[in-house]
Amino acid sequence: MSSDLPRLRLGAALGALLLALGAPTPAAPSAPVPAVRGKVFLTMEEALELAFPGCEVERDKQFLSKAERARAEELAGCELESSIAYVYSATREGKPIGTAYFDAHRVRTKRETVMIVVAPDATIQRLEILAFAEPLDYLPGGGWYAQYLGKRLDDDLSLKRGIRGITGATLTAQATTRAARRVLAVHQVLGER
Amino acid sequence: MTRSLLARPAVGLVTTASLLLGAPLASANGEEPPEEPKQDRTVLERVEALEQENKELKAGRAEDQARIEQLEGQVDVLGDEFEQISFRDIVPVIGDSYYGLGLGASKVYSLDQPGISIGGYGEMLYENFNGSTTDEIDFLRAVVYVGYKFNDDWVFNSEIEFEHASTDKGGSASVEFATLDRLINDAINARAGLLLNPMGFVNELHEPTAYLTATRSITETRIIPSTWRENGAGVYGEAGGVSYRAYVMNGLDAMGFTAQGLRGGRQKGSQALADDFALVVRGDWVGTPGLIVGGSVYMGDSGQGQMGLGATGTSIYEVHAEYRAGGVWARALAAMAELDDVAQLNAALGNTGAQSVGEELEGAYVEVGYDLLSLFDADSESSLSPYVRFETFDTQAAVPAGFSSDPLNDDEILTLGVNYQPISQIAIKLDYQDWDRGTDRWSLQLGYVF
């Protein structure tokens, strides 16, 4: 066994790895694909362009009354961060494509900012992580976030039902699920006006 | 202000009506009508007064309208600025308006960037042993995580652990890991420093909320030592639903091996003997939410050039799987280790008979828990999970000729318990372990993470 892994070979590998740490960073890909390069993956503008290519996007500010906020919180099952909703409605040739909302929330001690696009049928059409200030070890990988697509505001949108948790990133999973519920709840309340 | 605005025309109308209707009404009541010229003057004065009042009302309304527009503008600006603050990570703040936001700016403003990240966890453990073994309550671990992001390419992260509450009574203060990461892209990143060996579940995820039971498994304590950290460097990343880590790190020190396992061989990054290095590689399928399936291999020598020892080649293999969905949380892990030159090592350590270090070590466990609260309240952050774990291990599955195995190192444990999390960051666990040969015990753990 020891002959398989001679000391010098592994020592050299360690040296090479340490040297590689200082190598220049390769150019970032041009496509706006989230990458593990730090905390900010996409700006708001980039995220909207990614979600609504070729669409007209109208920004609107909506102030929730106390009663509306209370109703949204009841629907979401958690508190809203604010009574102001920033609504980005996308249309193509006059036809509604989706409505984007942004939600910034604390994960452990730092923030995660997500964009959630609600489809005309009130399901989640897209979820993008725009910024993640916690160590990236707490950012779920793989296709974990894809679980939210197609979910609507019901009991299935929960870590105990339709969203599967992830060991080691439990707080991120909870924070993201709460954000999804908040967004769908606000969208519903605004639609009830 | 809105109320007074609405009230003014009403007052005016009432006044107007009373003025215009006042005279005919008085006449109808049979009172003596005033002389006409005097009446004309009175009416004229009243009309003039009304016109003046009307003029003032119009001026007031115009002034109020201007103030409303001004206030609306201010609220609009405040709303925009609130959005800038709320989403400071992702909103450019300089440039022309686009979607109401800055278009031309390429700089992303963030109050959090760069910055320090702080976290931590801890656990207190009470163990009540059957028989004559003394019971113990111990504040086993208090841990602080400190990370620092230098820029988008370089990140530092560390874990500083205080074990057993006091160094006066055998406790210790240790750096569990301290790594510099060079972030490149999803597929490949580099890491160097005091690394956590990525084998198994517990080495990288040892916070109390990251596992079901009150105590760690024996397999992930003696065969895959935990928390196992050594100095080295490596790469990690994720592509196509597969995550991986590949590190070169200093090897174990065989002089720390015992009949109970490899745990004592950890050098913990402290003045580590570095004649021998090891390679550890881990891969996991993470492409299916809720499911992790993977394995890892560790290969390296542990002799470290010490007198009387051979190379003491050490290989450890493990496979693992975890499934989480709804209220279910299940895990399985199997590990085995193979050591060379054990007879030489036994001689150097002075081991005889059943004291031999194992040439082969093996262990496995399966555990499953179910969150009962998920049946009643999908939104609840609390969980109450009864669990069961079955484990088998043998740290002397094979020993060199001339040595024997201690039956106590070949055991099976059935653990039954309950894990209650009032919130997801706090865990209270109570379980009972039924050992086939070893000492049965009750364990109660209080843990937290932030």
Q: ipTM of this predicted complex?
A: 0.71
Angstroms from A114 CA to nearest CA on chain B:
10
Domain boundary among B102, B125, B147: B102
Partner residue opposite A161 with nearest CB, options B185, B237, B378 = B378
Taking Cα atoms as reference points, which of B239, B210, B294 lies closest to residue A165? B210
Residue B10's contacts (CB-CB under 8 Å, 6 or more residues apart) are none
Measured between alpha carbons, how far is B78 from B94 in angstroms, rounded to an integer? 17
Taking Cα atoms as reference points, which of A23, A45, A26, A56 lies closest to residue A128? A45
Residues B88 and B125 in one domain: no
B115 Cβ contact list (under 8 Å, min separation 6): A110, A133, B148, B149
Q: B72 in a domain, yes or no? A: yes
B294: domain CATH number? Answer: 2.40.160.10
Verify that B90 and B166 share a domain, yes or no: no
More confident residue, A30 or B237: B237
In terms of domains, do B341 and B381 share one?
yes
B107 occurs within a structural domain:
no
Residue B181 has pLDDT above 60, yes or no: yes
User: Quick one: pLDDT at residue A11?
Assistant: 64
Three-state secondary structure call for residue A109: coil
With an 8 Å Cβ cutoff, are B119 and A109 in contact? yes
- CB-CB contact of B262 with B200 (8 Å): no
A148-176 as b/e, with b when 16 or more CB fall inside 10 Å? beebebeeebbbbbbbbbbbbbbbbbbbb
pLDDT in tens, B399-445: 999 999 999 999 999 999 999 999 989 999 999 999 999 999 999 99
Asked if A60 has any chain B CB less than 8 Å from its own CB, the reply is no
Q: Which of B79, B102, B125 is the last residue of a domain?
A: B102
Token reading at B369: 């828990």
Same-domain pairing of B96 and B223: no
Whether residue B86 is found in the same domain as residue B191: no
For residue B31, which amino acid is it? E
> What is the C-alpha separation between B68 and B64, in angstroms, rounded?
6
Please check whether residues B85 and B229 belong to one and the same domain: no
The pLDDT-based confidence of B49 (bands split at 50, 70, 90) is: very high
A150 in B contact zone (CB under 8 Å)? no
Which of chain A's residues have a Cβ under 8 Å away from the Cβ of B248? 10, 13-14, 17
Same domain, B188 and B320: yes
Instruction: Verify that B132 and B260 share a domain, yes or no.
Output: yes
Residue-number span of the structural domain to which B83 is assigned = 2-102
**CB-based contact, A149 to chain B, within 8 Å:** no
Band of pLDDT at residue A31, cut at 50, 70 and 90? very low
Q: A12-16, B141-145, B366-370: lowest mean pLDDT where?
A: A12-16
In this complex, do A10 and B340 lie within 8 Å of one another by their Cβ atoms?
A: no
Considering only CA atoms, which of B329, B332, B449, B448 is closest in space to residue B384?
B329
Chain centre to alpha carbon of residue A36 = 14
**Structural tokens at position B311:** 């190379």
Residue B99 and residue A102: Cβ atoms within 8 Å? no
Per-residue model confidence as pLDDT tens digits over A163-191: 998 888 888 999 999 999 999 999 999 99
Burial of A22: CB neighbours in 10 Å, binned 0-12, 13-18, 19+: exposed
d(C-alpha B217, C-alpha A5), whole Å: 30
Task: Say if the Cβ atoms of A131 and B110 lie within 8 Å.
Answer: yes
- Number of domains chain B is built from: 2
Q: Which residue has the tokens 């362009």?
A: A49
pLDDT at B20: 45
Q: Does residue B167 belong to any structural domain of this protein? A: yes
